[in-house]
Structure 1
Amino acid sequence: MTADNDVPVSVVGPGDGETITLGTTTFRVLEDGSNTGHRLGIAESVLAPHTPGPPQHRHAQHDEGFYVISGMVRFTVGRDSHDAVAGTLVMVPPGAPHTFENPTDEPAVMLSTFTPDLYVQYFRDLEKMFSGGEPPSPEAHIKAMGRYATTPATEFH
């Protein structure tokens, strides 16, 4: 789609976008940064019931936002936990330790933003690692995170 001044506009319809499967979580990349000058990435995440999240970590170079569309997602920030229900927005600035999980019996859906888009490639890397036989372990997550200015927040384990 093109606007009147010939600037392309990205439209991603239902079921469109790149699908990345990571264990019991499915990501649908809605914007990988290629249409935003790499200023913004967006993904829809579906977390199956009882899905653990990644190890608690910090991003050095990007903000990450989570908008819960349905279900409940538990966010852990340092030692504090917050149960985010549908309609809740969680914004994580660079340097803030965080992780999330779906501890419930129902699936949870959330929209995630990455500003800039740096972290979208992390999910692609994880999928490639897991499809190549590496188990979805905390160590695998940490290995992939390290490529994207992200480090584990080990003081909270």
Structure 2
Amino acid sequence: MTGLILPPGEGRKLITKAQEVTFKATKAHGSSISIFEVVVPPGFDVGAHVHNDSQEFFYVLEGELELLAFEPAKRTEESWHDWESPEGDQAVRATEGACMFVPPGTPHAFRNASDGPARMLFQCYPSPYHEFYFEEIAEIWAAGGAVDPGAVEQMRRRYDVHQLTPLRYDPPALLPSQSATERGA
């Protein structure tokens, strides 16, 4: 049996206008846990969702994300940003070194409300559902034009992702003196 060692920045990459995902350890490597490095751009909101069978772990490597992992006292369909648990828990501003574990059946979400990209290590069990999910959502983003919410919803259902609030990507507007390259797009 051989293990896997990857230098920094290595792994199979999926780069879209909304995210950059680097596959680190996958089912193809013999892993029962899918492990990814994900760059989350400013303005990306995965939307609150729940998995019946999957569990996830998020670790913030750089930048800042808002994280949520609880059943709210009252769900709203448009946004999770103001959700509160019966115990008074709210979304948490998470910076480098913060982590979130999500057991099956737990509503959860993340978004980058900052003005810079965030980078996180993301693990999902069991493998390979999120591997297929990331590959298919990359195809949807790559199709160009507006993303079809119906296509995203159908795809997510196939991979045990039950959406509670919409996925959104509203990148900050460029300043007149700023090019896309300077902004990091």
Tell me the residue number matched to 1:151: 162
Identity, % of aligned pairs?
26
CA drift of 1:134 comes to: 6.2
Q: TM-score, normalised by structure 1?
A: 0.83
In structure 2, the residue matched to 1:13 is 7
- Count of residue correspondences: 146
Higher relative contact order structure (alpha carbons within 8 Å, sequence separation ≥ 6): 2
Q: In proportion to residue count, which structure has more strand?
A: 1
Q: Note if contact 2:51-2:160 (Cα within 8 Å) is conserved in structure 1.
A: yes
Out of 59, 64, 69, the residue aligned to residue 72 of structure 1 is: 64
In structure 2, the partner of 1:102 is 112
Deviation at residue 143 of structure 1 after TM alignment: 2.3
Q: Which structure 2 residue ranges, 5 or more long, are not aligned?
A: 73-82, 84-89, 166-185
* Partners of 1:88 and 1:81 in 2: CA distance: 13
Question: Do residues 121 (structure 1) and 132 (structure 2) align?
Answer: yes
C-alpha change, 1:141 and 1:74, in structure 2 (3 Å) is farther
> Taking structure 2 as the reference length, what is the TM-score of the superposition?
0.71
What aligned pairs does 1:30-109 form with structure 2 within 5 A after superposition?
30-37=24-31, 39-49=32-42, 51-77=43-69, 78=72, 79=83, 80-109=90-119
Deviation of 1:70 (Å): 1.0
- Rg larger for: 2
The alpha-carbon distance between structure 1 residues 135 and 29, as it changes in their structure 2 partners (threshold 3 A), is farther
Aligned to 2:121: 111
